[in-house]
């Protein structure tokens, strides 16, 4: 059949391009080895990597494992560390002691009992996170989520990674080309040739000539060369909901090689935005994400340097413009966008890389066998992807809506009803009487944030849900047992898990046990 989809051409490298290449090639490796399918990645030899996507989700563990990547080599070559969640400081009231965790572990017994009403009724005198899971205590004590004897990709606690994006893309490139059969072309893309039906038939390059394809994946970053410029798909901004539009990024060396290494992302709210702080084994990656409508660049830089202290006094700062939003559609004709070409949101909750993973996974699993069915697959892909982007926008906005800060127009404006998506407004009203839990819609197949994530943010930021005494009575014994089991589990993990930096040193020296 002449309309078989057998040649995938990815235009653009970086994290998006190489993750997409790896996920697609791993899924179709047998066909690649048999010569009936190909994945070609074309990238410019001199396009810099944006390189601020240093936080990931736990999904990356299964992604790398399915690609056949050694977790030990990933740590060794990507300056990687463990991530067990995020700590949000000064988001609720702005006070010095205002902080809560969004961990990566589910609450104890989450599928059997909703512990939130029992915590709200005063069953525990600790924070919500500490009452229902062990991970906040693990993070407070600087502990790793596993031991050196734990096999690769397994853990005593759920975890993701912090990584150096500048090292991650070349690491993926080597694996994709040497192990998965991806063809790598270093060349500038010039003319783009269209087919009679409007598809892209081929691209013209300066070094490799004409490269034809059946499916083109646009990973060309913000310029969206294929989907935006060539296919004419517009951009849908969401700056009316998410105000932050600029980031000032800086990298800070440690005082010495044994400096404490946090096992979580730290997000500290400022007057008109927030500062991220990500610990890698050899340095810290930090930056100030802010709204240029509410604060000047000079003042934003002063806030960043005040946070950094003397260590960041003379370090160079890189400015990154954020255009919050996404393409009006993500797959048109035989072109699908992944990564920045599809859109970008402020890096709160590290959603950038997971959107790359989810999109590439869906493409790989739903790979159309013929051009005739591609439009059906594209429709399904667009529906799922639109839903995911919408839910991420809702979840990011939730952090601002729940804030009680009154010290600047930025925080007050974020609570204006006209800036809050309708769906989120309805959920906030619902949660006043019944909070999110396991059996809610948040646990549908294409959901990005589970109900537990909403619980951690809501009750970490002092949201109040009315308590139903009947539910408390019905679940009382099960809830008390789960709370007790969490206390036991917390103490057990606190005593037996190694310090984070100690484990990183051991991985570098000995390696983790292969699966």
Of 288, 321, 354, the residue that ends a domain is: 321
Residue 323, both tokens: 């255009």
Residues 353 and 305 placed together within one structural domain of the fold: no
pLDDT of residue 186: 97
How many Cβ atoms from other residues are within 10 Å of residue 190's Cβ? 9
Q: Is residue 351 part of a domain?
A: yes
With beta carbons less than 8 A apart as the criterion, state whether 273 and 290 touch: yes
Active site residues: 83
User: Which of the 8 DSSP states describes residue 310?
Assistant: G
Secondary structure of 319-337 as H, E, C letters: EEECCCEEECCCEECCEEE
The burial class, CB within 10 Å (0-12 / 13-18 / 19+), for 321 is exposed
What CATH code is carried by the domain that includes residue 187? 3.50.50.60
- What is the spatial distance between Cα 188 and Cα 146, in angstroms, rounded to a whole number? 44
Whether the CA torsion 253, 255, 259, 262 is positive or negative: it is negative
The burial class, CB within 10 Å (0-12 / 13-18 / 19+), for 296 is exposed
Name the one residue in this structure whose structure tokens are 């509410």: 294
Classify 261 as helix, strand or coil: coil
- What is the spatial distance between Cα 173 and Cα 77, in angstroms, rounded to a whole number? 12
pLDDT of residue 1: 45
Q: Is residue 133 part of a domain?
A: no
Domain that holds residue 297: 246-321
With beta carbons less than 8 A apart as the criterion, state whether 274 and 267 touch: yes
Q: Is residue 336 part of a domain?
A: yes
Which residues does the chain have with pLDDT short of 50?
Answer: 1
Q: Which of 133, 59, 129 is nearest to 99 (CA)?
A: 129
The string of pLDDT tens digits covering residues 113-131 is 999 999 999 888 899 999 9
Sheet containing 200-205: give its strands across.
189-194, 200-205, 209-212
Of 298, 321, 344, the residue that ends a domain is: 321
Q: Is residue 426 part of a domain?
A: no
Residues 302 and 348 placed together within one structural domain of the fold: no
Q: Which of 168, 13, 151, 159 is nearest to 75 (CA)?
A: 168
Q: How many structural domains is the chain composed of?
A: 2
- What is the spatial distance between Cα 492 and Cα 313, in angstroms, rounded to a whole number? 41
Name the one residue in this structure whose structure tokens are 């059997």: 112
Burial 424-433 (b: 16+ CB within 10 A, else e): beebeeebee
Residues 338 and 207 placed together within one structural domain of the fold: yes
Q: Is residue 463 part of a domain?
A: no
**Whole-model pTM?**
0.95
pLDDT of residue 444: 56
With beta carbons less than 8 A apart as the criterion, state whether 198 and 315 touch: no
Residue 52, both tokens: 């601020």
Residues 6+ apart with CB under 8 A from 209: none
Residues 230 and 260 placed together within one structural domain of the fold: no
With beta carbons less than 8 A apart as the criterion, state whether 138 and 145 touch: yes
Strands 85-89 and 99-103: antiparallel
Q: Where are the alpha helices (DSSP H) in 12-157?
A: 14-27, 29-34, 59-66, 71-77, 116-120, 128-132, 135-140
The string of pLDDT tens digits covering residues 299-312 is 999 999 999 999 88
Whether the CA torsion 415, 418, 421, 424 is positive or negative: it is positive
Of 289, 321, 353, the residue that ends a domain is: 321
Q: Is residue 198 part of a domain?
A: yes
Q: Is residue 217 part of a domain?
A: yes
Residues 41 and 188 placed together within one structural domain of the fold: yes
Residues 370 and 259 placed together within one structural domain of the fold: no
* Strand partners for 287: 249, 276
pLDDT of residue 311: 85
Residues 213 and 330 placed together within one structural domain of the fold: yes
Name the one residue in this structure whose structure tokens are 């991985």: 507
- What is the spatial distance between Cα 43 and Cα 26, in angstroms, rounded to a whole number? 20
Residues 354 and 212 placed together within one structural domain of the fold: yes
Classify 111 as helix, strand or coil: coil
């Amino acid at each position: 059949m002449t309309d078989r989809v057998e040649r995938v051409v990815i235009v653009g490298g970086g994290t998006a391009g190489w993750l997409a290449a790896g996920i697609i090639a791993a899924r179709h490796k047998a066909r690649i080895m048999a010569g009936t399918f190909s994945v070609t990645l074309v990238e410019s030899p001199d396009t810099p990597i944006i390189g601020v996507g240093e936080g990931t989700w736990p999904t990356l563990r299964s992604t790398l494992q399915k690609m056949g990547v050694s977790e030990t080599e990933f740590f060794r070559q990507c300056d990687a560390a463990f991530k067990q969640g995020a700590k949000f400081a000064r988001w609720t009231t702005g006070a010095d002691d205002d902080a809560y965790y969004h961990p990566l572990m589910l609450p104890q017994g989450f599928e059997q009992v909703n512990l939130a009403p029992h915590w709200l009724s005063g069953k525990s005198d600790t924070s919500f996170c500490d009452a229902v899971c062990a991970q906040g205590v693990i993070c407070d004590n600087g502990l790793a989520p596993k031991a050196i004897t734990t096999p690769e990709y397994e853990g005593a606690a759920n975890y993701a990674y912090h990584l150096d994006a500048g090292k991650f893309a070349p690491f993926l490139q080597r694996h994709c080309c040497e192990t998965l059969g991806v063809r790598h072309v270093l060349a500038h893309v010039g003319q783009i040739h269209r087919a009679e039906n409007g598809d892209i038939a081929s691209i013209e390059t300066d070094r490799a000539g004409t490269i034809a394809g059946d499916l083109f994946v646009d990973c060309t970053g913000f310029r969206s060369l294929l989907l935006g410029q060539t296919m004419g798909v517009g951009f849908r901004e969401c700056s009316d909901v998410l105000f932050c539009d600029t980031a000032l990024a800086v990298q800070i060396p440690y005082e010495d090689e044994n400096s404490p290494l946090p096992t979580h992302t730290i997000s500290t709210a400022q007057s008109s935005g927030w500062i991220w702080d990500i610990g890698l084994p050899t340095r810290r990656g930090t930056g100030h994400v802010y709204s240029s409508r509410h604060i000047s660049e000079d003042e934003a830089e002063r806030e960043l340097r005040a946070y950094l202290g003397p260590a960041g006094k003379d370090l160079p700062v890189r400015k990154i413009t954020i255009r919050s939003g996404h393409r009006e559609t993500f797959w048109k004709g035989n072109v699908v966008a992944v990564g920045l070409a599809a859109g970008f949101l402020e890096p709160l909750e590290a959603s950038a890389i997971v959107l790359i993973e989810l999109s590439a996974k869906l493409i790989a699993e739903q790979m159309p066998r013929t051009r005739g069915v591609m439009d059906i697959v594209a429709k399904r892909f667009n529906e799922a992807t639109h839903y995911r982007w919408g839910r991420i926008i809702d979840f990011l906005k939730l952090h601002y809506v729940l804030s009680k800060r009154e010290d600047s127009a930025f925080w007050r404006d974020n609570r204006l009803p006209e800036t809050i998506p309708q769906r989120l407004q309805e959920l906030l009203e619902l949660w006043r009487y019944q909070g999110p839990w396991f059996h809610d819609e948040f646990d549908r197949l294409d959901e990005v944030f589970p109900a537990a994530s909403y619980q951690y943010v809501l009750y970490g930021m002092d949201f109040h849900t009315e308590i139903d005494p009947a539910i408390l009575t019905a679940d009382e014994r099960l809830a008390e047992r789960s709370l007790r089991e969490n206390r036991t589990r917390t103490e057990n993990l606190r005593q037996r898990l190694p310090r984070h930096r100690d484990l990183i040193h051991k991985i570098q020296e000995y390696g983790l046990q292969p699966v």
